[in-house]
Each structure stands twice: as structure tokens, then as C-alpha cells.
Amino acid sequence: MNYYSLHHKSPKTTFKNAVVQGLAKDRGIYFPDNITTLSKEFIANISEYTNHEIAYEVIKQFVGDEIPTKKLKEIITKTVSFDFPIVKVDENIASLELFHGPTMAFKDVGAKFMAQCLEYFNQGNTEEITVLVATSGDTGGAVANGFLGAKGVNVVILYPSGKVSDIQEKQLTTLGQNITALEVDGVFDDCQEMVKTAFLDEEITKKLTSANSINVARWLPQMFYFFFAYKELHKKHKDLVFSVPSGNFGNICAGVMAQKLGLPIKHFIASTNINDTVPNYLINGIYSPKPSKATISNAMDVGNPSNFIRIQELFSNDLEALKSAFSSYAFTDDETRETMKEIYKNSGYVADPHGAVGYLGLKKYELQENEFGIFLETAHPVKFLDVVEETLPVKIEIPKQIQKIINNKKVAIKVANYQDLKSFLLK
């Protein structure tokens, strides 16, 4: 499969190169050259397939012959190694829990898939590659975990000091081995900007790759969730509406891609916190990125979502077509907390702030009689322990994945600007 840059100034490239480079030379992100709809039979008989078989059917065209079938199936087995339960919350609303993986956020799937592709592609190379990644919270932990011990791959994670939760910080600063955490004096956008600058810097770019959701190997496997959910829910014979708590818009973009492959999804809602660049764009047609603002759903504190351009591409840059299948709404922290309380009061379900934003999106959209709403619960409530326990009368039990790391010692290197990062990478 070939990929082209969405800036259209770099040549087309292979899946391998798109994974290894992350970003094209013209700074554009990659997009698959052609997309083949899956067979109607497959969609109609989806219940007869295991999750591993579904994942293979969904991803294989995007990898092409660049990874042998047997190896790709192995990669999928290691990636899809936990459950994705659907929990009913209201009469016509359910939570799709994506947080049962090793770091308890949905990013585990993309991170693990990408780590294994990269390890495969770098096999036999004597030079090590460095994965450079900026995180607003959960990416760092998922990438660190996914890549831990990967041969020939070093991982460097930039995170904004004081802007990630304690557990998130532990997850990305305590693993050691091939993982290094850099603590940046700034916000997430500063981290992301530094990463982008590093990729343009001739002196260091050669051995760098990115593991942000711009990387096709992180982005595309996220399609699996939507297929898994459809497998469970299609028997309801209702039109499915997905609300995705969105920051960099990678996850929801994977959903739109799943729809493009023929998955019957009626409507998408990109639910955001007050970082409302996309909701505003849908209202006034002006895309005006802003510096990110800190919120209680910090994994979505993104002022200029990198993947939105892919969504526009999927709708052939037709704003009216986009608006008919896709809505986007922004919510404040107060609304988020109120909703966490409301969900808990009505159903006993403990939503984390991101999931609550997703739920709010479904409420604002106003589901019709024949529609069923699913919000993606992107993180376990324990990852936002302070907010959840302040807001709800609950005491969250610490899951074993978290217990393992909570008393480990944080190791991070402080970084103030791009020069600091560069000196570190040149060492």
C-alpha cells in the first residue's frame, strides 16, 4: 500500500517508510493512496469472526505485502490482547470501554501495533532508531509500555511539567530500559512543536521517528474498536451513533475510516473540552487553531488537532458533506463534572472526565428513536483519580496494572527549550 503526504509536496511512499518516517519531508501527514471497501458478506457475518480475524481483515490492505501474513497475525494477537466491553449506561446509550489494556487508556492498541511494526522493519539494521513523542498525558505511558524492550528502538517522551496526572507521570517516567522521559517547562503544544522542529532539523532527523497519532501505524489500528462494537451491537437493529472524546482527533478519524470501509455507522460526534478549534470550524467554517488550555480532561488539551486534516480528506474537503455525517461539540469542566455526577446517580457508572465529555456529546446531539449512542470510554477512572474522587462519592480501587508502578521512582530530565532537546538527542 502506498501513502501520500497531505501537503502533496513529497513523493508517495510505502507503508514501511510511512511508519519509519512518521511525517513526510514536506511536514505533511500520510494518507493511504486508495481505500477498498470491505465485502458486504464480511460486514453481514461479522459475528462469526473472532476479534483477531476482524482486526486482520480490517488492517491488511493498509499493510499490503510489506509484512508477511503470519507475522501480521502475530502482531495483531499481541496488540489485541484484552477485552473491549460495552456497558449499558442509559436506555439508549452505552460505554465502549477501551481501557482494559496495560496502561488503561485506549492508546495501548495503537502503541503496541506500531512498536511491533517498527521492530519488524528495523530488524537487521545496525543503527538504532529513536522514537520521539510528545504526550498530553496518555500517549507517553502507552508508547513507553508498547515499546519497552523493543530491540533497536529508543524512546524519548516529552511531556508538559505539572500538566499530566500523577499516575500518568509514573507510567512514563518509571520504566527505564530503552525509555527516557523529558519534562518540558511548557504546555502540550510546546512539546508537539519541539517534536515537529526536531523532524525538520537536518542534524538529527535521520534517525528519528514519531509515535504520535500522526503515525499511520498508531492511527489505523484504532479502527478495530468500531468494528468490535458493531459486532456486539448490530443485533439491536438500530442506527449507531458514536461519540468520541477527541483531542488530536486520531481516534475519531479511525472511526470515519472504518465507516469508509463499509461499517454501518450513522453519525459521528467529536466531543471536546474547551479546546474547541473543530467545533468552531463546524459552526463558522474558519479553522483557527489556538494554544491549548488546561482542563480536567487533559488528554484532550489540544489546540491544533493534527488528524483533523485526515478527516477533511476522507470527506473530500467538502464541509457540507462533513457536517451531515459529523458533529463536534465543546464542553466546560463544570459541565463535565456535573455529567459525571449525573451518570453516577442514574446508573452507578463511574465515568472518567473524558468519557463524560463523550456522553455529553450524545446528549447534546439528541438521539432519535431508532438510534443507539455509544461513547468511547478512553481511560480508566483511576488515571484521573483526583478529579474522579473529588467529584463522585466513590473510592476507586487501584487496578493491578497501576499498583505495579505507583511506588516506583520518577526519573525525568528537565527540558526548557528546543536547544535542550537537541543537545540531548545529539548525545
In the complex, minimum distance from the CB of residue 215 to ligand PLP, in angstroms, rounded to a whole number = 12
- Which C-beta is closer to ligand PLP: that of 21 or that of 103? 103
Report d(CA 238, CA 47) in Å as an integer: 16
Mark residues 313-352: x for contact with ligand PLP by CB under 6 A, - for none. Answer: ----------------------------------------
Catalytic residue among 16, 107, 163, 383: 107
Calpha distance 40→266 (Å, rounded):
17
Q: Which strands make up the sheet holding 239-245, listed edge to edge?
A: 86-90, 93-97, 371-377, 239-245, 267-272, 326-330
Rounded Cα–Cα distance for residues 19 and 3 (Å):
10
Determine the Cα–Cα distance for residues 243 and 257; give it in Å rounded to an integer.
Answer: 15
3-state SS assignment for residue 153: strand
Report DSSP letters for 304-326, one per residue: S-TTHHHHHHHTTT-HHHHHHHE
Chain position whose Cβ is nearest to ligand PLP: 138
Is 122 or 145 the residue whose CB approaches ligand PLP more closely?
145
The residue range among 12-20, 73-81, 192-200, 247-255 that interacts with ligand PLP, by the rule CB under 6 A, is: 247-255
163 tagged catalytic: no
The least CB distance from residue 307 to ligand PLP, in Å, is 7
Contact flag: residue 380 with ligand PLP (CB under 6 A): no
Output Rg (C-alpha) for the chain, integer angstroms: 20
251 belongs to the binding site for ligand PLP (CB under 6 A): yes
248 is a contact residue toward ligand PLP (CB under 6 A): yes
Amino acid identity, residue 394? V
Interface with ligand PLP, residue 271, by CB under 6 A: no
How far is 213 from 107, CA to CA, in rounded Å? 9
Is 160 a binding residue for ligand PLP by CB under 6 A? The answer is no
- Of 121 and 159, the one with the shorter C-beta distance to ligand PLP is 159
Residue 213 C-beta: closest distance to ligand PLP, Å: 5
The contact pattern for ligand PLP, residues 137-156, with x = CB under 6 A and - = no contact, is: xx------------------
Residue of 165, 174, 246, 339 interacting with ligand PLP (CB under 6 A):
246
Instruction: Tell me how far apart the alpha carbons of residues 134 and 159 are, in angstroms, rounded to a whole number.
Output: 6
Piece of 118-126, 243-251, 260-268, 389-397 that binds ligand PLP (CB under 6 A): 243-251
Q: What is the bridge-based pairing of β-strands 153-160 and 129-134?
A: parallel
Task: For residue 14, list its beta bridge partners.
Answer: 2
Convert 103-159 into a string of H (helix), E (strand) and C (coil).
CCECHHHHHHHHHHHHHHHHCCCCCCEEEEEECCCHHHHHHHHHHCCCCCEEEEEEE
Please, are residues 56 and 76 in contact by the beta-carbon 8 Å criterion? yes
Question: Residue 87 is inside which H or E element, if any?
Answer: strand 86-90
Supply the minimum distance, in Å, between the C-beta of residue 124 and ligand PLP.
32
**304-338 burial, b for 16+ CB within 10 Å, e for fewer?**
bbbbbbbbbbbbeeeeeebeeebbbbbbebebbbe
User: Which is it for strands 239-245 and 371-377: parallel, antiparallel or unpaired?
Assistant: parallel
Q: Is 108 in the site for ligand PLP (CB under 6 A)?
A: no
Interacting residues with ligand PLP between 175 and 214 (CB under 6 A)? 213
Q: Is the dihedral of CA 322, 299, 27, 37 positive or negative?
A: negative
**Interface segment toward ligand PLP; rule CB under 6 A; list 4-12, 246-254, 330-338, 401-409:** 246-254
Residue 401 interacts with ligand PLP (CB under 6 A): yes or no: no
Q: Cβ closer to ligand PLP: 21 or 306?
A: 306
Least Å from the CB of residue 40 to ligand PLP: 29
Bridge-partner residues for 367, per DSSP? Answer: none
Report DSSP state, residue 415: E
**Residue 173 lies near ligand PLP (rule: CB under 6 A):** no
Question: Using the rule CB under 6 A, is 354 a contact of ligand PLP?
Answer: yes
Nearer to ligand PLP, 102 or 137 (CB): 137
How far apart are the C-alpha atoms of 185 and 190, rounded to whole Å? Answer: 9
Say whether residue 379 binds ligand PLP (CB under 6 A): yes
Kindly report the length of the chain: 427
Among 59, 75, 300, 350, contact with ligand PLP (rule: CB under 6 A): 300
The residue (of 114 and 425) whose beta carbon lies closer to ligand PLP is 114
Stretch that binds ligand PLP, among 26-34, 82-90, 249-257, 343-351 (CB under 6 A): 249-257
Contact call for residue 245 and ligand PLP (CB under 6 A): yes
Choose, by CB under 6 A, the member of 140, 160, 221, 247 that binds ligand PLP: 247
CB 227 within 8 Å of CB 46: yes
Q: Which three cell numbers, joined as nine digits, stand for 395?
A: 473510592
Tell me how many residues contact ligand PLP (CB under 6 A). Answer: 17
Active site residues: 107
Which residues of this protein are in contact with ligand PLP, per CB under 6 A?
A: 105, 107, 137-138, 213, 245-251, 299-300, 354, 378-379
